[in-house]
Amino acid sequence: MPPKINNSVAWDQAELLMQPAFIRVIDNIRKLLDVSSWTGTYQDVLIWPTGTTDETKAIVTQFLQDLEAATPEQALEIREKLSRLPIPHPGYHLSLQRQEQTVNIDLWELCYRVCFSNYISGDDTADIDTDLIDENGDVDWQNLDNKAKELVEQVFANLPE
């Protein structure tokens, strides 16, 4: 889950950093996959709120599918039902495979670790890493490149032997 951002300056800084961080993360993954025995596949996934039951997931998924073909009146009714249920948010994962082993990496979580100085998965709050922003309020590309590379290298260094 992304950290909550409560002020407009931090929100603007997060918007400034997230896309470049994502691009740097993907580029560093590509470079390491080129020299690794692991192969990678990117996947769109749904991230459900903690504690969502399989039954609730099935109901929400069915409502979302029904919504695509619904009449305007039916859509209104479906949206009303959905408003009372937990809704997943989109995620993007890297699935790494080698022989019988599979490791899944949440790419947005990795980007949050790049953009925020104290990000811990599942924690509600974190601060923007202001070392990634230069004195003019723009992206400090060198620091962003270095941090993204370091975090991606840590992921690969922690893969099973």
The crossing angle, in degrees rounded to 10, of helices 72-82 and 54-68 is: 160
pLDDT digits (tens, 9 = 90+) for 79-105: 999 999 998 888 899 999 999 999 999
Rounded to a whole number of angstroms, the distance between the first and last alpha carbons of the chain is: 29
Calculate the alpha carbon distances from 118 to 32, 60, 121, 141, 150 in Å.
Answer: 25, 33, 10, 20, 15
pLDDT at 22 over 90: yes
Give the model's pLDDT for residue 117.
86
Give the model's pLDDT for residue 127.
85
pLDDT at 133 over 80: yes
pLDDT digits (tens, 9 = 90+) for 104-120: 999 999 999 999 987 87
pLDDT digits (tens, 9 = 90+) for 29-69: 999 999 999 999 999 998 888 899 999 999 999 999 999 99
- Two tokens at 89? 């948010």
Give the model's pLDDT for residue 4.
77
Give the model's pLDDT for residue 1.
64
pLDDT at 131 over 90: yes
Backbone φ and ψ of 119, nearest 5°: -75, 130
Give the model's pLDDT for residue 60.
94
